[in-house]
Structure 1
Amino acid sequence: MNVTLHRVGDGIAVLEYEARRARDVALVVGHGYSSSKHNLDGMCAFLASHGFAVYSLDFPGHKLGASGGRLRGVDDLVGAMAAAAEFARSRGAQTIYTVGHSMGATTALVAAGGDSRFAGAVAIATGYGRPTVLDALAARGVVDLRAAYVDGLSLPELASAWEPLLDDALLGLAGRPVLFVAADRDGMVSRASVEELHRRAGEPKTLVTVSSDHTFAGDNSRAAILHWLAAMHPRRAAAAAATPLVDAPL
Structure 2
Amino acid sequence: MPGTIAIEVEGARVDVRPTDIRRTPQAGEAYDTVEIETDRGTTVCRYYEAQGTRVGVVMVGGTGGGFDTPARGLYPRLAQDLPNHRISALRVQYRHPTDLVESVFDTVLGLRYLESRGVTAAGVVGHSLGGAVAIQAAANVPAVRVVVAVATQSAGTEPVAALAGRAAILLVHGDRDPVLSHTSAEEVYRRAGEPKRLIVYEGAGHTLDETAESLYVEVKAWLLKHLPGTLV
Name the residue aligned to 1:215. Answer: 207
Consecutive unaligned residues in structure 2, runs of 5 or more = 1-28, 70-74
2:47 pairs, out of 16, 31, 49, with: 16
C-alpha distance in 1, partners of 2:188/2:68?
A: 27
* Contact 2:131–2:153 (CA under 8 A) maintained in structure 1: no
Q: Identity, % of aligned pairs?
A: 26
Structure 1 residues 6-85: aligned runs within 5 Å: 6-10=34-38, 11-19=42-50, 24-39=54-69, 40-62=75-97, 73-85=99-111
**How far apart are residue 27 of structure 1 and its match?**
0.5
C-alpha distance in 2, partners of 1:95/1:219?
A: 26
Question: What secondary structure does 2:111 align onto?
Answer: helix
* Contact 2:32–2:47 (CA under 8 A) maintained in structure 1: yes
Q: TM-score, normalised by structure 1?
A: 0.67
2:163 pairs with 1:173 = yes
Q: TM-score, normalised by structure 2?
A: 0.72
* Contact 2:174–2:208 (CA under 8 A) maintained in structure 1: no
Aligned length: 192
2:184 pairs with 1:193 = yes
C-alpha distance in 2, partners of 1:9/1:87?
A: 12
Alignment RMSD (CA, Å): 2.7
- Higher helix fraction (1 or 2): 1
Structure 1: which 4+ aligned runs deviate by more than 6 Å? none
Structure 1 residues 89-238: aligned runs within 5 Å: 89-128=115-154, 163=155, 165-167=156-158, 169-176=159-166, 177-210=168-201, 212-216=204-208, 220=213, 221-233=215-227
- CA offsets 1:205-244 (integer angstroms, 9 cap, x no match): 11123464313569552211111122234778xx75xxxx
Question: What secondary structure does 1:119 align onto?
Answer: strand
Counterpart residue type for residue 15 of structure 1:
R
Higher relative contact order, structure no. (Cα contacts within 8 Å, ≥ 6 residues apart): 1
Question: What secondary structure does 2:59 align onto?
Answer: strand
* Contact 1:182–1:208 (CA under 8 A) maintained in structure 2: yes
* Contact 1:120–1:173 (CA under 8 A) maintained in structure 2: no
Higher-Rg member (1/2): 1
- Relative to structure 1, the CA distance from residue 174 to residue 201 in structure 2 (aligned partners, 3 Å threshold; closer, same or farther) is same
* Contact 2:104–2:136 (CA under 8 A) maintained in structure 1: yes
* Contact 1:15–1:56 (CA under 8 A) maintained in structure 2: yes
